[in-house]
Structure 1
Amino acid sequence: MIRFTRRALAAVTLALALAPAVARAEPVTIRFGFASIGTDNRPFAGGSAAALAHSEHYVEEALKDEPGVTVAWSFFKGAGPAVNEAFANGQLDFAFQGDLPSVIGRASGLKTKIVLATGAHAPLYLAVPPNSTISSVKDLKGKKVSIFRGTNNHLAAVKVLAANGLTERDLSVLNMDVATTNAALASGDIDAAFGNFGLISLEQQGRARIVYSTKGDDPAFERQAGVLVTEAFEKAHPDLVAKVVKALVQASHFASDEANRDKVLAIWARSGTPDSVYRFDYADQPLRTRNSPIIDPFLVEQYRVQARQARAYGLIRRDVDVAGWFEPRYLDRALKELGLETRWPRLGPDGKPLS
């Protein structure tokens, strides 16, 4: 009888955890942050499946049968460092963030879980004023160069410099956000800038010239990113985490279909960045490479390497252990329920496809 009672109690507990939100004692607002913001502070982002999920209301649709549950989206001009501050102040439950700021947040004691990838395998660009004589990374010695510190552009730039025999100390590095960098580059107040697709827009306007890209270079120079959830929210609302992750996987599926390329680029253009910029950024890369949600050995290894190199380059002051940081069970469940278990390739630690 005692054994039966315990089993019955366990069954009831599980049923309550999976029950519809009508049984929730209090309303829940899911606070989702983006380490990005649109042109002129538009509340939109682009370039990732998470951005598409926001624009097309995937998460809201997944929660439509959950009375009392709403979603609030925040976009941060200060990118990853600003997201970490919001996490630290208890203002976010989920966030889309690059690898380095996520590592910095973990080194600072933030309690989060990485539940899926999005916007991974992204390239880094080096741009200079149109009339500049700089033609390669090696030409940057002694130059004024913008690097947005604390973002996933930062560590990628440090690694590119190292591969060319340089360190940040060989340059006059200026810490500038995207808007400030674009203005300074266009006016010629700086000699060069490392950044992402925002630099493409300047080149297309004739206000800058891209002289280097990590495309086709060492995969270790790629920028990774993912979606994080706080441990507190995940513990309190595992059912909601499952629904959010499933919605993001559905967005990833749509954003990975080559038949949808034009639609995806047009949706991202709501951020104020022209679709031609995203077309350039995604050129020569399959959509499913950049929009894969998969947590595979390659992604985990890249975060491990980022943590180690961030420590070696003095970007963090303590070692970061990635063991236990990734929580793939929600992703695996979503892939199974949606029949997408083989939709995206899984890579080994060396970046080669697993059999």
Structure 2
Amino acid sequence: MTFKTAAFATVSALALAGPLSAQDLQEIRMGYIADYWGTSIAAIATDQGMWEEHGLDADLKVFTNGPIQVQALNAGSLDFAYIVPGALWLPASGQTKVIAPNAFGYSDRVIAQEGIETVADLAGKRVGVPEGTSGDMLLRLALAEQDLGLDAIEFISMDPSTIVTAFASGQIDAAGIWYPFVDVIGRRVPGMVELASNEDFFPDIAFPSSFIVSDDMADEEETIRRVVAVIKQANDFRLNNPDEAVSITAEFLNVPEEPLRAESTMARMPTAAEFEELTRGGEVGNWFDTLADLYVDFGKIEDPLPASDFYLGKLYAE
């Protein structure tokens, strides 16, 4: 019996048997970030019963960024997690593995106080950044484009909520941050200026967010297949039902819909089938390799693994 035949037989048997009882579901612990792209897959899967459909019971835990989730993965308190491209240096340095791409976001921005008109004007300025995130990466790219490095600015590591307060009170001159925080800051500081966006560097550099698995769970291929199946199904639901996806995510996070609706338009989102084809064709791996090489240029890592070592694309492409 081939793998596909066996898999079909298993799925068919489950379908005939009806819904699995709670005690039959496999428990997993999965992290997410409380914004649209970091939450929508988990929220949709929960709302639509997709976890149970694929034999899973997901214990969902909220985090503020990817690096903290990787710490939880390595500590054994989390099985799966979500990271933005700014945290890809972690799997590229061998600390975890990627199981699925999510979307090509361009919600990151380099923003500045009124009167600062260009990235070059940031020289000598106080810039707040959540270190190791996509906001950090975009800032570094924008500075490099002006032949500037981090030593040209006063780099201040801050978490996103602190950046909102610090920017609004004038304690920092600029920030590398993302929507919906940019929208919140803009409402408090009407003169805020947007200096750079991920989209400025597309398609030479793509910024895919992704889902990762702990090293302890990386050999559990059947579990990973189930989680990937949920991610794919929720991905296509999100693509085909954009308004409902925003509503589901807003309800899940207990926040207003409008900021999430604005954020939801700031990404390119292939279908699961397209991601499968892009994986088989090597494009997804190339994007990850490019991001990893950028982190070498930034001095974040010295000798990154090739994407073929940290992206479990074979499982995704099945």
TM-score, normalised by the number of residues in structure 2: 0.80
Q: Which deviates more, 179-188 or 79-88?
A: 79-88
Tell me how far apart the structure 2 counterparts of residues 269 and 208 of structure 1 sit (CA, whole Å).
Answer: 28
Secondary structure of the residue that 2:120 maps to in structure 1? Answer: helix
* 1:49-128 alignment, distance < 5 Å: 51-57=40-46, 61-64=50-53, 66=55, 70-77=57-64, 79-107=65-93, 109-112=94-97, 114-128=98-112
For residues 25-66 of structure 1, give each alpha carbon's deviation from its aligned partner in whole angstroms, at most 9, with x where no partner exists.
9984201112x23xxxxxxx4225x52433551685343574
Q: Which residue of 2 aligns with 1:194?
A: 176
Secondary structure of the residue that 1:116 maps to in structure 2? Answer: strand
How far residue 304 of structure 1 moved from its aligned partner, in angstroms, is 0.7
How far residue 75 of structure 1 moved from its aligned partner, in angstroms, is 1.3
Runs (4+) of structure 1 exceeding 6 A deviation are 19-22, 289-292
Tell me how far apart the structure 1 counterparts of residues 242 and 58 of structure 2 sit (CA, whole Å).
Answer: 27
Instruction: State, as a whole percentage, how many aligned pairs show the same letter.
Output: 19
Q: Which residue of 2 aligns with 1:241?
A: 224
Q: Which of the two has higher C-alpha Rg?
A: 1
For residues 246-305 of structure 1, give each alpha carbon's deviation from its aligned partner in whole angstroms, at most 9, with x where no partner exists.
121111111112xx3322223333435543334434447665489975553333222111
> Structure 1 counterpart of 2:238, which letter?
A
Tell me how far apart the structure 2 counterparts of residues 329 and 319 of structure 1 sit (CA, whole Å).
Answer: 20
For residues 173-213 of structure 1, give each alpha carbon's deviation from its aligned partner in whole angstroms, at most 9, with x where no partner exists.
10011000000001111001111101122213445624224
Tell me how far apart the structure 1 counterparts of residues 137 and 258 of structure 2 sit (CA, whole Å).
Answer: 27
Structure 1 gaps of 5+ residues are: 1-6, 38-44, 334-355
> Structure 1 counterpart of 2:284, which letter?
L
Q: Tell me: CA distance 1:273–1:142, structure 2 relative to 1, closer, same or farther (3 Å).
A: farther
Tell me how far apart the structure 2 counterparts of residues 61 and 264 of structure 1 sit (CA, whole Å).
Answer: 14
For residues 195-242 of structure 1, give each alpha carbon's deviation from its aligned partner in whole angstroms, at most 9, with x where no partner exists.
110112221344562422426522145532111123432423x33322
Tell me how far apart the structure 2 counterparts of residues 100 and 86 of structure 1 sit (CA, whole Å).
Answer: 18
Alpha-carbon contact 2:80-2:211 (below 8 Å) kept: yes
> Structure 2 counterpart of 1:97, which letter?
I
Q: Which residue of 1 aligns with 2:212?
A: 228
Q: Which residue of 1 aligns with 2:36?
A: 46
Residue of structure 2 aligned with 1:327, choices 302, 305, 312: 312
More RCO (CA 8 Å, sep 6+) = 2
Structure 2 gaps of 5+ residues are: none
Secondary structure of the residue that 1:314 maps to in structure 2? Answer: coil
TM-score, normalised by the number of residues in structure 1: 0.73
> Structure 2 counterpart of 1:85, which letter?
Q
Tell me how far apart the structure 1 counterparts of residues 305 and 258 of structure 2 sit (CA, whole Å).
Answer: 38
Secondary structure of the residue that 2:36 maps to in structure 1? Answer: coil
> Structure 2 counterpart of 1:104, which letter?
L
Aligned residues, how many? Answer: 301
> Structure 1 counterpart of 2:100, which letter?
L
User: In the alignment, is residue 203 of structure 1 matched against residue 201 of structure 2?
Assistant: no
Residue of structure 2 aligned with 1:268, choices 223, 239, 249: 249
Alpha-carbon contact 1:95-1:227 (below 8 Å) kept: yes
Q: Tell me: CA distance 1:161–1:222, structure 2 relative to 1, closer, same or farther (3 Å).
A: farther
C-alpha RMSD of matched pairs (Å): 3.4
Alpha-carbon contact 1:310-1:316 (below 8 Å) kept: yes
Report the structure, 1 or 2, having the larger strand content: 2
Tell me how far apart the structure 1 counterparts of residues 174 and 274 of structure 2 sit (CA, whole Å).
Answer: 31
Tell me how far apart the structure 2 counterparts of residues 291 and 196 of structure 1 sit (CA, whole Å).
Answer: 28
Tell me how far apart the structure 2 counterparts of residues 83 and 281 of structure 1 sit (CA, whole Å).
Answer: 22
Q: Tell me: CA distance 1:150–1:59, structure 2 relative to 1, closer, same or farther (3 Å).
A: farther
* 1:5-44 alignment, distance < 5 Å: 28-34=26-32, 36-37=33-34
Secondary structure of the residue that 1:120 maps to in structure 2? Answer: strand
Alpha-carbon contact 1:119-1:225 (below 8 Å) kept: yes
